[in-house]
Structure 1
Amino acid sequence: MANPLFITVCLSLGTYLICGIPFGLIITSLMTHTDIRSMGSGNIGSTNVGRSVGKTAAALTLIADTCKAFVCSVLTREVVVATLAAGQRSATMPDGAWGWIGGIVVAMAIIGHVFSPYLHFTGGKGIAAGFGAIIGYAPLVACGLLIVFLGLVCTTKLVSAGSVAAAISMPVWIVVLYQATPQVLVSIVLASCIVVWAHRSNICKLLQGEEKRFSFHASNGEK
């Protein structure tokens, strides 16, 4: 039987390196020849890209950041099924015997995005990467997160409020919808805490009533 620790370390490291790729920086550099870190809030995520550059760049950033983590999560499941779970996909779910590996990968996807090894351990705020990883790992939880996020953003236009609320709700969703094991819950709580920590400046602004409501930057003919 394959060594679970070795497989987990390899999957975690691979996820960290892949999810650390700063697509927001790459996309805006290609489209505008400008460093997104010198614009708006200085963040490389799709919200700042949308505010500072425009809809197209924001959409591309969102898709890329979501997909990189989704791919890592799906590949993790396939590797675990092939090497540890004897072909049983149910064992890779949050309540399965090997579900804890997927939980770690979700956390590593967020860690890679927030603490990118290519940007001196700085990065985005983990929302798109976390969402992509959860889609591949626990799709019902992804639906719950989307409901919380869209519910707040559509009513308040405050992306940060929706992001923080969705992150806080993630451990609740994974317990309610999947009866996740304690090992999985530890990883998901860690992932949630990292996202909240990454939004600490936004939380201060929200509490002080100074957080900006979201709107797209009109650029290159965009409206």
Structure 2
Amino acid sequence: MKVYEILLILLGYFYGSIPFALVIGKVFYNTDVRESGSGNLGGTNAGRVLGKKAGMSVIILDALKAVLVYYISYFLAGKLNLNPDIKYIAGLACIFGHCYPIFAGFRGGKAVSTCLGYFLCIEPLYAIVAIIVFLSVLKISKYVSLSSISTSLIVLAITPFLDLPLTAKICMTFAVILLVYRHKENIKRIKNHTESKIQWM
């Protein structure tokens, strides 16, 4: 692996580590979202604690993390004659950074928005189908966690059949597994009927 490829992976991780929910909460609301709601640094908890406007802002910024990393890697791979698959790996590093951010004590979000941005870059139509499934389950259940997990499992089932490089399929699979793993506590609460339903969307 070339030095520039390693640097792009590190760029992905460090940019993914920027905790936008924490930044927006502290800068605009003088609130640490980790101390309220679920304590999660994601758009859902930001919306629950700070309101709809803040929640949507965090969702968009978190999704754009993967988009920017993916296209910067894509552009530089062409300019520097790097492995074209580096965009998939750097994007996955971005998702990992969001979940385990070095700038927030390795306590991050659950990567739903960041994964969505990542999937949109790799296979837009596929991602749109995932959005439709997510919103449909959310409308019925009002559980963001259940919607995220259900969508992720469908993504996981479809991925092997996509016309994509093997690296892309492997990275997407790891992204889905990480997302589901990050929801392990939510799964327990859903089983116990103690999971919170969303109110602000």
For normalisation by structure 2, the TM-score amounts to 0.91
Q: Measure, in 2, the Cα distance between the counterparts of 1:140 and 1:104.
A: 21
Q: Measure, in 1, the Cα distance between the counterparts of 2:74 and 2:57.
A: 26
Q: Which has the higher helix share?
A: 2
Letter in 1 for 2:192: Q
1:202 to 161, 186, 190: 186
Contact 2:133 2:151 in 1 (8 A): yes
Q: Measure, in 2, the Cα distance between the counterparts of 1:128 and 1:144.
A: 15
Give 1:113 deviation, angstroms: 0.2
Give 1:203 deviation, angstroms: 0.8
**Change in 2 beyond 3 A, CA 1:60/1:106:** same
Question: How many residues of Structure 1 are paired with residues of Structure 2 in the alignment?
Answer: 201
Look up the SS of the partner of 2:159 in the other structure. Answer: helix
Q: Measure, in 2, the Cα distance between the counterparts of 1:213 and 1:140.
A: 28
2:167 to 179, 183, 198: 183
Q: Measure, in 2, the Cα distance between the counterparts of 1:102 and 1:167.
A: 21
Give 1:5 deviation, angstroms: 3.5
Give 1:195 deviation, angstroms: 0.7
For 1:61-86, what per-residue CA distance to the aligned partner results, in whole angstroms no more than 9, with x for missing partners?
A: 1111111221111111112233337x
For 1:33-56, what per-residue CA distance to the aligned partner results, in whole angstroms no more than 9, with x for missing partners?
A: 111000111011110111111011
Higher mean alpha-carbon deviation, 166-175 vs 10-19, is at 166-175
Q: Measure, in 1, the Cα distance between the counterparts of 2:137 and 2:86.
A: 31
For normalisation by structure 1, the TM-score amounts to 0.83
Q: Measure, in 2, the Cα distance between the counterparts of 1:206 and 1:33.
A: 32
1:21 to 12, 18, 24: 18
2:39 to 32, 39, 42: 42
Give 1:122 deviation, angstroms: 1.3
Letter in 2 for 1:33: N
Q: Measure, in 2, the Cα distance between the counterparts of 1:192 and 1:41.
A: 21
Contact 1:74 1:137 in 2 (8 A): no
Letter in 2 for 1:196: V
Structure 1 portions without partners, runs of 5+: 86-96, 218-223
Match of 2:75 in 1: 78
Look up the SS of the partner of 2:187 in the other structure. Answer: helix
Instruction: Could you list the structure 1 runs, at least 4 aligned residues long, displaced by more than 4 angstroms after superposition.
Output: none
Q: Measure, in 2, the Cα distance between the counterparts of 1:106 and 1:172.
A: 20
CA RMSD of aligned residues (A): 1.9
Look up the SS of the partner of 1:118 in the other structure. Answer: helix
Structure 2 portions without partners, runs of 5+: none
For 1:92-126, what per-residue CA distance to the aligned partner results, in whole angstroms no more than 9, with x for missing partners?
A: xxxxx83x323212321210100001012110001
Letter in 2 for 1:203: I
**Change in 2 beyond 3 A, CA 1:141/1:102:** farther
For 1:136-183, what per-residue CA distance to the aligned partner results, in whole angstroms no more than 9, with x for missing partners?
A: 23222321221221121111111001111222233334333x323333
User: Which has the larger Rg?
Assistant: 1
